[in-house]
Chains A and B, each alone.
Chain A
Amino acid sequence: MSELGKPFRDGEVIVQQGDTGDCMYVVQKGKVEVLTAKGGADLRLAVLGEGDFFGEMALFEREVRSATVRALGDVWVLTLEKKSFLRKVQEDPSLAFRILEKMSHRIRELDIALEEAAARRSAR
């Protein structure tokens, strides 16, 4: 029995906010937390599990990493390099379906969060 990818220990940083990146990652085993620095503290944005990916913005933009991703317990993560992945998508565009689905899902979640925040503000 064996895992694929690279192991990270609990608390180990996989992606650092502000760093430049040229790859995305897929969680093979375990969980990771997505954090953003706010007022000197880390604000948890999401917890991702097996099959989830992160760092995908680096495939489409040349911006720095928008969040930090840290291992929650022992984790195995597989790296997909930008160049080879984009070449694969060029050969088979449907390979990007899942990323588009996830990104669409995240936009929907953000819309809901924004609506809730606006509702809270108007209720004050």
Chain B
Amino acid sequence: MTVDQANPAQENHSPGLRLDDGSRVAVIGGGPAGSFFSYFLLQFAKRLGVELCVDIHEARNFAIPGPGGCNMCGGIVSESLVQNLAAEGIVLPANVVQRGIDSYVLHTDVASVRIETPLHEKRIAAVYRGAGPRGSKPTEWRSFDGYLQELAVGEGAHVVRGRVESVSLDGGRPQIKAPNGAPLTYDLVAVAVGVNSSTLKVFEGFGIGYAAPQTTKTYICEFFVGRDAVEKRLGSSMHLFLLDIPRLEFAALVPKGDYATLCLMGEEIDKPLVQAFMDSPEVKRLLPAEWNASPDFCHCSPRINILSAVRPFADRMVFIGDCGTTKLYKDGIGTAYRTAKAAAKTALLEGISANDFRRHFWPTCRSIARDNQIGKLIFAVTRQVQRRRFARRGVVRMAAQEQEKTGGRRRMSTVLWDTFTGSAPYRDVFLRVSHPAFVAHFVRNALAGSRPKEIQSS
């Protein structure tokens, strides 16, 4: 994709840039952020009686299994997003939800502990962003991204298939050149291309002050385990690992139909780190004895952002989802929903100038970015726990005791739940962890867990 850099976007701080009847909106990228943006923009427009034309430019066909139809993501729809979607009237179909998650199991070298969802409900959805891993039967799965795109189309969006060839400005209005077509001029462009696209470099050169997010490499792999083995070994739990492996921040094994999705996050995940994780006894114990990782398994190393974009807006332009800002390590789809909805509300109710986005869209991004700063602190503490056996004992012992009791406050369980599932802001988690009662309980459990008798029995 190229951009006409000779005519950079000039910011217009004056009021008057608005979407009206007949306005044309382009959405570059038809993943969750792009589809949510289109869906909410058209829904708000309908409520206000405004007729808009929304084109979603998307090269991928989400009906194709494997990399061709996948947006490279672990595929977890968080508890918080499942609830928001339910309140919005969006019910995820059973063939989109590969498995409803009702608990998670935290694995450490000292022990494992199972933590149930509140009310023992299946509140987290394990989904495939595309039509399933490479080699899976095309008709068996339904893509989450494809489903969201259908919702947007149901509200009146048009999907323009193919990769955008160029973006330029036509009298101050964005112009997009799609393959085999004449350039299309729009009143607004929503950029929702994630952080794994070279397109972002193009926008950085656009002279609008946008700088793409800083990223790190992750690792995602789809293991074929078989439906019975998935049911027996993993059940409806997300399996999280708190292991003392250098550079590994977080690891999860998520059950989905015949497969288990492995997600590794940390500092530049590479082959030796993946191997060290797969060789750990905690992982080997969980997978079938005769099972071996095949090199043919569908895997990818997408980048995720660790520092939000600079100035993800301009006149007639807004960056949503990962290419703007996202929650650190967690709930990327949920953050795409938040930023997309904030952008859609701003565009329709306030205006489409840089100033409108700064005043009404940027606060949502800023609050996510600030929360990520606290998230970094929480993960720094988690790293210390990972490295210290007595701390790991304290965490597991405290959570296990809470799970055994029917009543009482579940301080550690909720902290672990919200940290690892992304169900609550990091700020909330931090406030709970800093509470003197939490600290006192944790220290008592860490000390009790370090007594020789307990060590021998674990």
Contacts and interface: CB of A to CB of B under 8 A. Distances in A.
Interface in B85-106: 86-92, 94-95, 97-100
Contacts of A6: 119-122
A29 B122 contact: no
Given A1-B97, A85-B87, A95-B88, A79 B345 contact: no
Nearest to A78: B86
B87 A2 contact: no
Interface of A: 1-6, 26-29, 50-51, 53, 78-81, 84-85, 88, 92, 94-99
A50 to B, nearest CB: 5
A97 B118 CA distance: 26
Most chain B CB within 10 A, of A81, A85, A92, A99, is at A92
Nearest to B141: A1
A53 B91 CA distance: 11
Given A4-B125, A6-B120, A50-B91, 6 more contacts: A2-B122, A4-B97, A4-B122, A51-B90, A78-B86, A94-B341
A58 to B, nearest CB: 14
Interface of B: 44, 47, 80, 82-84, 86-92, 94-95, 97-100, 118-123, 125-126, 236, 257, 338, 341, 345
15 contacts: A1-B94, A1-B97, A2-B125, A4-B97, A5-B100, A5-B122, A6-B122, A27-B91, A51-B90, A78-B82, A78-B83, A79-B121, A80-B86, A92-B338, A99-B87
Given A1-B95, A4-B125, A79-B119, A88 B88 contact: no
Contacts of B257: 1
Contacts of B80: 88
Nearest to B86: A26
Nearest to A5: B121
Contact of B83 (A1, A85, A97, A98): A85
A78 B99 CA distance: 15
A5 to B, nearest CB: 5
